Amino acid sequence: MSPAEDEAPERCAIPGCDQPPVRHLARSEARAAFPELPEGGRRAPICRDHYRTWKKATKDRRALDRLTW
Ligand SMILES: [Zn+2]
C-alpha cells in the first residue's frame, strides 16, 4: 500500500460502478468484456461482481476462439 493509494481510494473502473476493486486487469483485457470501459491507464481496477462477469465473458470468448481455430 503506497500513500498515493490512501489519498485516492480506488473504485471499480466500470462506468456507473463504485464498488471497491478486488482485482486489476490489463485495460485491454478488461475492455474485451466491457467495451464501455473508457480508455486511459494501463490497468483497470475491477470489483468482485465485474471480475466475475469478466471471467465468464473471457472464458466464453476463449471457447469461441478455440472453435474458430
Ligand atoms: Zn464494478
pLDDT digits (tens, 9 = 90+) for 1-43: 455 555 667 899 999 999 999 999 999 999 999 999 988 889 9
Average pLDDT over residues 44-65: 86
Q: Domain ranges in the chain?
A: 11-68
Q: What is the pLDDT of residue 55?
A: 93
Q: What is the pTM of this model?
A: 0.72
Query: Which band of pLDDT confidence, cut at 50, 70 and 90, is reported for residue 64?
Result: low
Q: What CA–CA distance (Å, rounded) separates 27 from 10?
A: 15
DSSP 15: T
Cα 51 to ligand 1 centre (Å): 7
Cα 25 to ligand 1 centre (Å): 12
